[in-house]
Amino acid sequence: MNARYDCFCKLTDLLDAQESLSEARRHLHRYPELSFQEKSTAQWVADKLQAWGYDVTRNVGGHGLVATLKNGEGKGIALRADMDALPIQEETQKPYASEHTGTMHACGHDGHTTMLLGAAQQLAKTRQFKGTVHLVFQPAEEAGKNSGAQQMIADGLFERFPCDAIFGLHNHPGVDVGTFMFGTGPFMSASDTCKIKVKGKGGHAARPHQTVDPVVIMGSLIMAMQSVVSRNIDPLQTAVVTIGTAHAGSVSNVIPDSASLSLSIRSFSPEVRELLEQRITSLVRSQVESYGGDVEIIYERGYPVVINSVPETEFARQVAIELVGEEKVVFPFGPVTGSEDFAYYLMHKPGCFLRLGNGRDSALLHNPKYDFNDQNLSYGAAYWTRLVERFLEEA
């Protein structure tokens, strides 16, 4: 390693903190809170930050927190972690499994929060930087719309806590622990939803000719929807249309009056996003009409594309190489068809959103058997610490 960087945070600097970080992460895991309900989580996090000497501003855009540490005059940097959990019943059988029925940290936000807390404690102890660091603990990332990022921005996040760039990360199952992944430009997809209600004419199952069967119409829509991407989107572009729910009827001898579908739609460019909406709504209307039914369509735009700026991503990548070596840094990586409301921050400030491997054997995100890998806590805390030190390095 270049001797110039010897003074900055290394992985070994966080080894002594591993046990306390694990305890903190497991506490958060045991007491998860859903989007817009993170009051106790925010209180617990804020108390720790204040004890370490941070100026903590509470209730930013809901239960959001911003912890500020200033060390002389200089630039400003913001780091973000999300705090909310998901409405999933946990099946990990871990001793620290969720005590809140039907709620669990199935996306690793407990780990994201703990890594940033680890960095917060290290930065407060060493103060090896010149300038201002803002640590953003965000609520409601999983909301899908009117999310925590949107509400914090609307509450004056960047005006009240000025910064020159913002950074965030998400764990990534299926990749070795401690592996950092980066991509420039469109990195994570936009996410839209479409709710479809097919209205037919119900009746007796023995007399289908007297009905307009919405179940048959729904079945035809499910099949027709498979052609939206394959026959409308340029093969060199990326798009996903997934039917997440399909509901109709309650008993076998009744043809119901209606049936419903809900779709998740992912894209990476404005043109593809627009085309998907046009083709889906047009196909649905014409298909339903051809069977003699009526339809209601609610098409909603969700999170925009996460677009990483080139200079900030290259800087973040170099910091990772300094910390773990080139063999544990992947570039280019992506695009990732998951979505993130971190995209809203990047519409206001340059920055980078990156991925950190959660282990090859990790359960998938949003799975009841998922658990954040505690081995990553020292990696993430050391990385955030070093990123701040390097970004706010004295000239």
> Which of 353, 316, 317 shows the shortest CA–CA distance to 335?
353
Q: What whole-number distance in Å separates Cα of residue 233 and Cα of residue 71?
A: 51
Let me know if 342 is exposed, middle or buried by CB neighbors in 10 A (0-12, 13-18, 19+): buried
Strand order, beta sheet including 55-60: 55-60, 64-71, 131-138, 76-82, 165-172, 351-357, 180-181, 329-330
Q: Is 387:316 a contact under the CB 8 Å cutoff?
A: yes
Q: Are 295 and 284 in contact (CB under 8 A)?
A: yes
Options 38, 90, 141, 340, the catalytic residue: 141
Catalytic residue check, 141? yes
- Active-site annotation holder among 33, 38, 82, 84: 84
Q: Are 379 and 373 in contact (CB under 8 A)?
A: no
Q: How far apart are the first and last CA of the chain?
A: 20
| Known active-site residue 19 | no
Structure tokens that stand for 131 in this block = 């300038």
**Helix 39-51, helix 18-30: angle, nearest 10:** 160
SS3 288: helix
Residue positions annotated with a catalytic role? 84, 141
